[in-house]
Every structure is written in C-alpha cells, then in structure tokens.
Amino acid sequence: MTSSTSGYHWGIEVDGDLVGAISVVNLDGHDAKAEVGDVVARRAWGRGLATEALTAVVAHMFEEVGLNRLYAVHAPGNTASGRVLVKAGFEHEGLAIDHMRCTEGFQDCHLYGLTRGQWRRRADEAAGG
C-alpha cells in the first residue's frame, strides 16, 4: 500500500502474482469522504478477490483513517462491479448522468455509497448484536 495526498493505492496479488489494484481517491478531508475503485485481471475474475480487497479497504478507511463516507461508481454494463459493491455493504444511490468520459463520449454511471454508521450497524448485526 502507498498513500499520498492523492489517495491510497494497494495491489491485489495471488501467490505472488499481481492480478489487480484497489485505490481510494478524491479524498475530501472536510467532508471525510472519498471514492474507491478497483480493477481485477480477467484471469482472476469470479474468485471473490475484489470483494475481499474492498471489504478490507472499507474497514481500514473507516477504522484507521477516520472517513465517514465512501462512494464508488461503475458503468451500467458492468454489473459485476455493482455486485462487488453490494457484497461489501454499499447501497445503490442512483444514476450519475454523464459522470465519466469514455471512448464513446460521456456515459452515465451507477453511484453507490456507504457510511461509517451503516458499516458499523451491519458489522454489529453480523456479530449477533
């Protein structure tokens, strides 16, 4: 992991093989929020690696860094990213219109969010309390 004023960046590896990355960017100290994103090589899809990495990063950002909110976006056609976010506790908040530029021009993105309070409540429920 590395951190800088621009964010936090981790590699995702399996048996010494780098298969992806996860980053926390767009840090906003005033509002205690940031954006999280990941990428996993096709050869490593379907193994739960993104969910495992995201779950660990969420815990770190809420417990150690002290953020109050994390958010993420994904393109409408990338439903696997949405499933990863939901498994990690994020909630779909809506559609961000013309949010991201791609090769075809601007595209809409699904917006997901998770607050420290939501995360704590889910952790308490999972622990039976």
What class is the 2-126 domain? Answer: alpha beta
Q: What is the pLDDT of residues 16-66, one digit of tens each?
A: 999 999 999 999 999 999 999 999 999 999 999 999 999 999 999 999 999
**Residue owning tokens 């990495």:** 53
Domain ranges for the chain: 2-126
Q: Which has the closest alpha carbon to 54: 68, 66, 36, 40?
A: 36
pTM: 0.90
Residue 64 phi, psi dihedral angles, 5° rounding? -95, -40
Place 6 in a pLDDT band, splitting at 50, 70 and 90.
confident
Handedness of CA 127, 40, 62, 33 (dihedral sign): negative
Residues of the chain with pLDDT > 90: what percent?
Answer: 86
With beta carbons less than 8 A apart as the criterion, state whether 23 and 37 touch. yes
Task: Count CB-CB contacts under 10 A for residue 96.
Answer: 14
Q: Containing H/E element for 125?
A: helix 116-126
